[in-house]
Each structure stands twice: as C-alpha cells, then as structure tokens.
Amino acid sequence: MSMSMYPSDKMKMSAPGCFPGRYSPTYRGPDQMRRCMTNPSSRLLEDASIMCNSWSPRTNGDIFSGLNDGLLSRAEALAAVDMQKHQSSHAAHQQMTQQLKHDVMYHHSMGAPQRPLQTKNMFQMHGMDNLDLMSDPSGSMTTLTPMTETPISSSHHQLHGSYHSMNHMMSHHHHGGPLSGHTPGSHHSAMAAAVAAASLHPDQDTDPRELEAFAERFKQRRIKLGKYNCVTQADVGKALANLKLPGVGALSQSTICRFESLTLSHNNMIALKPILQAWLEEAEAQAKNKRRDPDAPSVLPHGEKKRKRTSIAAPEKRSLEAYFAVQPRPSGEKIAAIAEKLDLKKNVVRVWFCNQRQKQKRMKFAAQH
C-alpha cells in the first residue's frame, strides 16, 4: 500500500465483477430546500437530569469541554446552555409529545447483499491511506457511461483488510507538506492509469484542499457530461461497476452526493477519489466518440418490504442534541434512560448517537481545514 500510516485500510477485493448493486430505480430526485423550524421544548430540563445524574466528574464544570468548533457543536452547546438555564427555573411540563413514534420499520428482507467496498481504516483523521488496488490484467474498461441496470450477478467479494501496523506518524497536514516517503509495500498496481497516477501523489490526494477542488471539478464535469442525457449522481454510482476496477463496485447516489459535497470522512474521500477520477476520465473519453443509447427499462423488481425510516420529532431531536452536548457517548444504560424519557426505542437512540458522532467528526475535520 502506498502509504500506510494507518494500519489497515486496504481495499479488499477479490473477484472483479463483484457487487450486487441494487439501486432504487425509482430515484430521480428533485431536491428540496432547507427546512426545520424550531419548536420550544421544555423537556430539556428534565432531560438534562438524566445526564447530570451520575455524571462523570470531568464534564462537570464545563459542558463545553470536548466540544469544538463544529457548527453542530455550537448548536449543541447552545442547547446545553439553554437546558442549564432552565434547570433552575424549570417548569417542565412535558408534553409527552410523542407523536406516534414512528419507529415502525418493517424489516426488509434484504434482497441485496451489499458488499461494501470498504477501506478499513481507522483512527482518526490523520489517516491517509489509500486503497491499493491490485492490477487487473483483464482491465478492460468497458462501458461505464451511464447505463442502466447491469445484471451484476451478486457475487460478493469478501474484501479484507490486512492491517499492518505501520508507523503512523501524523506528519503531513496541510497542503504543501510533502510527505511522501512511504515505502510502498504495494506493488503491482499498474492498472487504471488514473488510479495509479493518483496514488503517486499522496500529498495531493490527501490534502483537504485538493480533495475539495477535485470534488468541485468532478461535479461540474459530471454535469457537463450529460448535457442532454444528464448524468446524475445515481448514474455515476451505477457506472462505477462497469469500470471494472478490482474491488470496485457500484455506489449509491447518496455516496456520490456526499463525495461531491464533502460530507464523507476524510479517509473515505481519499479512498473514493481515485475511483471517481478514473470514472470521470473514462466517461469523458467515451463521450467524445460515442453516444449512449437510451438504456433499457429496469423497472422496479418486485415488491419487497420497504424499510421505513424512523423520524425523530424536533423536540426529541433537540433533547438528544442537548444530551449529546454533555455526553457524546452515553452508556447503554443512559441510552436506555434517554430512550424511555423520549419515548423512543433504545436502538433508535443508540444509532442516533452513533450517527451524531460520525457527523461531528466530519465537521470537526472540515472545520480545521
């Protein structure tokens, strides 16, 4: 691997045609605008007590400890402040707002085994590993332009991360800091030129600014490509499977969108960049001489159980944020207490905290770069 300042993080790959892709054929999304109005909720005070009760001493004096610059953090801080203010005055009349707790969710019988193309990295940012794709002799880059449904046999490939705990100093940082070095234990990657080329300049690839610039360029060029056809984020995701890069399968619209908007973790951005870059180059090349035919109908397969998304109401959400500001990682018991208090399922609360942490991490990183 080119640089492994981090243990792990290889792209695990195996058989090429991997990846069961399942896309919602229904997607076609217009977008919406920002929303969310706030409603007052006096439940905050009570909520606070959950956290305040047996609380670890360290967070006492300063509820801001551990918080930082993220926008989210600021919001949380405000929530925490608000809640403290009320703590004394308080008038907690809980409205048991419990809108129907929509915790409904039929569990879909997963129809698609998803095999994440995961770069198993860990450790906080600083990480800058790249995936190292192995070469693929058959590297026939075939159609990758927006096409429709590719009958990808859902063969999973089990990728696995072999970690090598290497020295991972956190040098690098900022643009310009040529870090390089890295004895590439990696070898043979003489495949997709773009990918290979990309890995030559780790610095540039890991530099937040470079990533940002690339994401922007990517978006513009992606849109240009479509012109009359319109290459959507979903198209790109699907097309990736056609770019037969080892270990690289399709991705969802969500991921492409997040890449473009830089809402992925730093490591994730780094891992995806070479792949998207390879696609972009190939797509533009194809666009030159070819023209894509209007695909075939993919139509939605069958009626499987649809997963229902739980929706946490604004008041509850604010309470959660307040708790989070005080303790981002509540214990199982606390989670249970919070869940009960808010009349939410414990798992919903647990997941909310997990997601909140991921989000906060991204924001912290973004804020410092």
Partner DNA sequence: ATGCATGAGGT
Partner DNA sequence: CCTCATGCATA
Which residue's entry shows tokens 């892709």?
Answer: 21
- Write the interaction track for DNA spanning residues 221-240; mark x where CB under 7 A is met and - where it is not: ------------x---x---
Among 1, 4, 5, 8, binds DNA (CB under 7 A): 8
Binding segment toward DNA, per CB under 7 A, in 53-61, 77-85, 139-147, 329-337: 329-337
> To 10 degrees, the CA torsion angle through 121, 127, 128, 132?
-20
User: Cα separation of 369 and 363, whole Å?
Assistant: 10
Among 84, 118, 143, 229, binds DNA (CB under 7 A): 118
Among 148, 263, 339, 343, binds DNA (CB under 7 A): 263
Q: Which amino acid does the sequence have at 352?
A: W
Binding segment toward DNA, per CB under 7 A, in 76-84, 112-120, 189-197, 209-217: 112-120
Q: Which amino acid does the sequence have at 214?
A: F
Cβ-count burial of 184 within 10 angstroms (0-12 exposed, 13-18 middle, 19+ buried)? middle
User: Cα separation of 14 and 134, whole Å?
Assistant: 9
Based on the shown chain and the rule CB under 7 A, indicate whether residue 367 belongs to the binding site for DNA.
Answer: no
Show contacts with DNA in window 37-66 (CB under 7 A): none
User: Cα separation of 278 and 131, whole Å?
Assistant: 14
Q: Which is nearer to DNA, 55 or 84 (CB)?
A: 55
Among 74, 201, 221, 317, binds DNA (CB under 7 A): 317
Smallest CA-to-CA distance from 45 within 3, 103, 15, 85 is with 85
Q: Which is nearer to DNA, 62 or 333 (CB)?
A: 333
Question: Taking the complex as a whole, how short is the minimal distance between the CB of residue 89 and DNA, in angstroms?
Answer: 29
Show contacts with DNA in window 238-257 (CB under 7 A): 250-255, 257
Tell me how far CA of residue 19 lies from CA of 236, 298, 352, in angstroms: 15, 17, 28
Among 352, 363, 364, 365, binds DNA (CB under 7 A): 352
